[in-house]
Structure 1
Amino acid sequence: MQRLLALIPPGASRIDLLAPPFAGHLNPVLAMGRALAEHYQVRILSTPKALPRIHAAGLTGVAIEGEYDDVLCAVANPQYAVKTHPVRLYRQFREVVGLLVNFSHALAQYWRDEGTPDLVISDFTLPVVGEVCHQFSVPWWTSLPSPCALETADGVPGYCGGLLPPRNKFERVIQCLHRKKVRGFKRCIFWLFRKTIRPTGIHRLYREDGSESAYSAHCILALSEERFEFPRTWPAAVHFIGPALYTPPVIVPQPPFETGKRHVLVTLGTHLDWHKAEVTRAVAKLAQTLPDWVFHFTLGNPDTASVAHQSNLYCLPWVDYDRWVSEYDAVIHHGGAGIMWHCLKAERPALVYPVDYDQFDHAARLAWHGKGIWLKGGIHALEQARPLLLRLVQSTVKNEK
């Protein structure tokens, strides 16, 4: 976090960081908050559901007034895949916009009552924060765990199924069309919801220079390494500060490691609940092909009642990535930014099984850099992943020697 500390403007003393309550967004903000709290007065602003984790991180938490948690959970964990399905994206956007309007009003009232900070750092999923900051003349920065989501004038566009760098003129033309498609879709959605969005103070989707108004024009904290991303012309506001990794302590059973056996962690993160039962069945079939190995499938929910055990497969409520990822021989994950960087940090080999959102873009980058194997072919490929797992582990053993 030294790169983050170097960016803080002189004279700042109080910093507010904002994030929704989901681990993939809240945990990076907590990591930054912990680093900043050693030098500044730090508050983490979120929803009531996030407060226990904020306090467990040793930080001051503030729940913005309003009923957000139940609706946010329904939006973030729908019972279907979203991917790039236009109708489903439309429904999600429609539900989220109303919440953001209420959130912006409540945030403004909180700052009127409690005073404004010297700097605001907000997760990219809260674009209305920028307009509230403008009202109070407070500097606003954006935190971006997935820089691949950022639109740029060139380079590989995100949210298009995990595209790789173009190899020829034809592929460059195709990717140019994809960039236009993404921008056109966003413009269409913005126009459809223009009346609903207007109360937030956001009146345009793009600034005159073509940059997205949802992100800070002054500083975008890219929680990645530039060498990991595909080449592109980044906006001047982008600053790569490295991944922000932290998991608040949670009281759950310790993963059951068995002496003398290889262990595989399987995770879909804290979302994708609609798909976890099907993945559990697929992993059970995979585990049968490797009876001397032990598989741990984390449900990503520490509130789950107990550990389920079937032969050499354990279904666990929660696995602390900070503490346990380095103990596994291999990881099968969905391509979420958090688990991806935990595996890279611990040098754990990974099979990447992307399902939704930016996960395909992360899978593409891992495969391109030789840091993981992109598991294509859906659930059946997961069931039949035995040869790939063997190759991953054998390759790791050779490298360690």
Structure 2
Amino acid sequence: MTGLDKVIKIDVISVPFSGHLFPTLTLVKPLLEDPRFQVRVITGFQKKELVEQIGFDCLALFPDRPTVMEDIANTAKQANLFIMYQQLRANSKLIPEVFNEINRIWDSEGQPDLIIADFVAAPAGVLADRLGIPWITTIPSPVAIESRTTTPAYLGGWKPHQGTFYKWRDALGRQVIRLAKKVGLALVKKNLDTLQDFKLYREDGTEGVYSPYSILALGMKELEFRDDFPSQLKWVGYRCLSFDHLPQEQKQYFMSSKKRVLVTCGTHLKWEKERMVELAKLLSQEHPDYVFYVTLGDPSGLEHPPRMLSDNLLIFDYLPYSDVLDQMDFAIHHAGAGILMGCIEEGIPSLILPQDYDQFDNAVRAELFQVGLVSRKKTDSEVLRLFNELVSQEDWNHLKVLAQRCKAYQPTEILYQEIERLLKVKL
């Protein structure tokens, strides 16, 4: 017996990218063990098999075009205005299809009682509002939420400063961000015929893509200098299981007594991977007493054995972070939210080379709160110098404190509280 009149049906909606889907699945996974809930995941076809292996029911979008979402996100070159416009245009054509498919599912199989949607799953929120279904936004990158009075994000990694000049700078930056969003929406609005009632901003000034009821920030408040987040936002800490597991036969490669360094730039940055391997080659030659483990971020290559370029340099197609991070002494990464928070959780000092989007803002926070060193020029000489500083630095007390505080968060408890509040039930 559940103790409720009926089982609570929850639909979890997310794009099929590891950095979006996995943190949200980690958050809701405890609900699988609770008979009071029926949880279903709606995502891209590429993740259907894995989601079902975890134990969720899964409905896959676009089974006839299994890589359509990944093809938009994974660019061959570093993002610029033209590439960003191309992505926006492609997404705007896809969004109505997603909207109609979710609507069809709910018409034929019944509506959920609650929706938990990743922060870029805009159609889910629009449809939920139309149907009067309460919804929760999960966001592993809280810097994406527009600042209203503080230093804005997505401008290359601005640091907060005191003084009149910087107040003017921040105010101008916030206006630039708003204008860019309005222009972007205007350019693709003709493709969004099913979302004509969508507004970028509500009457109270908050952004329409995030839930007006509940936003669960999958991160740490202690790693944030802003104090102007929406009132419905709650910090739940960051937990992210990879769900994929390192094959047993590959564990032999992690037995070295040398210091170990993970090198990664995530799953999306195809154009950076060759450069990353070259940097790892350089570092492995300069530091023969360290072993460098490079992951190329391709989940389809999980079972592939590594290429050993030298005794202390191994190239893996894919390494699940949650299976290998606790075996690392240092990391070199791009400041994606997942790897940044994973390193903090494990207390691993990082050399950070931000590349795109929110990574510059994440890197600023890593630097301000002293959990890693940031390479801005990203030249060979700078990377070599900063890596030497990284491995020589003995005082990582701030990192150790944050690692302890990271473990103190209670995400499951907060999730239950939000479900109770939104559905007006006692669990």
Tell me whether the two structures share a fold, i.e. TM-score over 0.5.
yes
Change (3 A) 1:65 1:308: closer
- Conserved? CA contact 1:223–1:243, under 8 Å: yes
Distance 1:169 1:342 in 2: 37
**What is the rounded CA distance, in whole Å, between the counterparts of 2:246 and 2:280 in structure 1?**
25
Alpha-carbon shift at residue 215 of structure 1 (Å) = 1.0
8 Å CA contact retained: 1:104, 1:128: yes
**Partner in structure 1 of residue 97 of structure 2:** 102
Letter of the 1:333 counterpart: H
- Cα deviations by residue, 1:278-302 (Å, 9 ceiling, x for unpaired): 1101110111110111000011113
Are 1:42 and 1:59, in contact at CA under 8 Å, matched by a contact in 2? yes
Tell me the equivalent position of 1:370: 370
Q: Hey, what does 2:309 align to over in structure 1? A: 310
Q: Distance in 1 between matches of 2:166 and 2:27?
A: 38
More displaced 10-residue stretch of structure 1: 95-104 or 49-58: 49-58
The size of the alignment, in residue pairs, is 389
Q: Would the aligned equivalents of 1:131 and 1:201 in 2 still touch at CA under 8 Å?
A: no
Change (3 A) 1:75 1:255: farther
Matched, 1:164 2:159: yes
Q: Are residues 94 and 310 of structure 1, via their aligned partners in 2, closer, same or farther at CA, if it must alter by over 3 Å?
A: same
Q: Pick which of 137-146 and 179-188 moved more.
A: 137-146
Matches within 5 A, 1:1-400: 13-39=8-34, 40-65=37-62, 67-82=64-79, 85-250=80-245, 252=247, 253-254=250-251, 256-304=253-301, 305-311=304-310, 312-380=312-380, 381-392=382-393, 394-395=394-395
Q: Which moved further from structure 2: 245-254 or 35-44? A: 245-254
Describe the shift of the 1:107–1:179 C-alpha distance in structure 2 as closer, same or farther (beyond 3 A): same
Task: State the AA in 2 paired with 1:147.
Answer: P
Q: Is the 8 A contact 2:351 2:373 kept in 1?
A: yes
1:390 Cα offset (Å): 2.1
- Note the residue ranges of structure 2 that are not aligned, 5 or more in a row: 401-427
**Aligned-partner Cα distance in 2 for 1:255–1:297:** 16
Q: Which amino acid in 1 is paired with 2:391?
A: L
Distance 1:395 1:262 in 2: 17
Contact between 1:263 and 1:330, CA under 8 Å: does it hold in 2?
Answer: yes
Tell me, yes or no, if the aligned pair for 1:299 and 1:317 is still in contact at 8 Å.
yes
Partners of 2:32 and 2:55 within 8 A in 1: no
Aligned to 1:3: none
C-alpha distance in structure 2 between counterparts of 1:374 and 1:36, whole Å:
38
Note closer, same or farther for the CA distance 1:327–1:10 as it changes in structure 2 (3 Å cut). Answer: farther
How far is the alpha carbon of 1:277 from its aligned partner?
Answer: 0.8
Contact 1:255/1:296, CA 8 A, preserved across alignment: no
Seen in structure 2, the aligned counterparts of structure 1 residues 184 and 29 have a Cα distance that, compared at 3 Å, is same
Task: Give the alignment's TM-score, normalised by structure 1.
Answer: 0.91
Conservation of the 8 A alpha-carbon contact between 1:286 and 1:385: no
Query: Are the aligned partners of 1:263 and 1:328 in contact in 2 as well (CA < 8 Å)?
Result: yes
Gaps in structure 1 of 5+ consecutive residues: 1-8
Q: How far, CA to CA, are the matches of 1:180 and 1:10 in structure 2?
A: 49
User: Are the equivalent residues in 2 in contact too, given 1:289–1:386 (CA < 8 A)?
Assistant: no
Structure 1: which amino acid aligns with 2:68? V
1:167/1:10 Cα in 2 relative to 1: closer, same or farther (>3 Å)? farther
- 2:266–2:334 contact (8 Å) kept in structure 1: yes
CA contact (8 A) 2:367 2:373 kept: yes
Question: What CA distance in whole angstroms lies between the structure 2 residues aligned with 1:152 and 1:302?
Answer: 34
2:324 & 2:388 partners in 1: Cα distance?
Answer: 24
Q: Using the alignment, how far apart are the partners of 1:296 and 1:143 within structure 2?
A: 31
Tell me the distance in 2 between the aligned counterparts of 1:269 and 1:309.
20
Counterpart amino acid of residue 313 in structure 1 = L
- Compare 88-97 and 161-170 and name the one that shifted more: 161-170
Find the aligned partners of 1:10 and 1:365 in 2 and give their Cα distance.
Answer: 46
Contact 2:260 2:328 (C-alpha < 8 Å) held by counterparts: yes
Of the structure 1 ranges 198-207 and 349-358, higher mean CA displacement relative to structure 2 is found in 198-207
Pairwise CA distance, 1:198:
2.8
CA pair 181-65 structure 1, distance change in 2 beyond 3 A: same
TM-aligned CA distance change 1:100 to 1:383, over 3 Å: farther
- What letter corresponds to residue 276 of structure 1 in structure 2? K
Paired with 1:255 and 1:143, the residues of 2 have a C-alpha distance of 37
Contact 2:295 2:318 in 1 (8 A): yes
Q: What is the CA–CA distance in structure 2 between the aligned matches of 1:10 and 1:320, rounded to whole Å?
A: 40
Query: Cα distance 1:291–1:218, how it changes in 2: closer, same or farther (>3 A)?
Result: same
**What TM-score does the superposition give when structure 2 sets the normalisation length?**
0.86
Assess, with a 3 A threshold, how the Cα gap between structure 1 residues 16 and 314 changes in structure 2: closer, same or farther.
Answer: same
Deviation of residue 259 (structure 1)?
3.4
Conserved in 1, the CA contact under 8 Å of 2:46 and 2:67? no
**CA-to-partner distance for each residue in 1:330-383, whole Å, 9 max, x for gaps?**
011110111111111111111111111111111100100011111221242335
Q: Which amino acid aligns with 2:323?
A: R
The verdict on how the C-alpha distance between 1:255 and 1:132 changes in structure 2, with shifts beyond 3 A counting, is farther
In 1, distance between residues paired with 2:65 and 2:91? Answer: 10
Amino acid aligned to 1:141: I
Structure 1: how far apart are the matches of 2:292 and 2:82? 36
Answer yes or no: is the 8 Å Cα contact 2:261–2:329 preserved in 1: yes
Match of 2:412 in 1: none
Per-residue Cα deviation, 1:230-255 (whole angstroms, up to 9, x for no partner) = 12222112111111311113354337
Following superposition, the deviation at residue 11 of structure 1 comes to 7.9
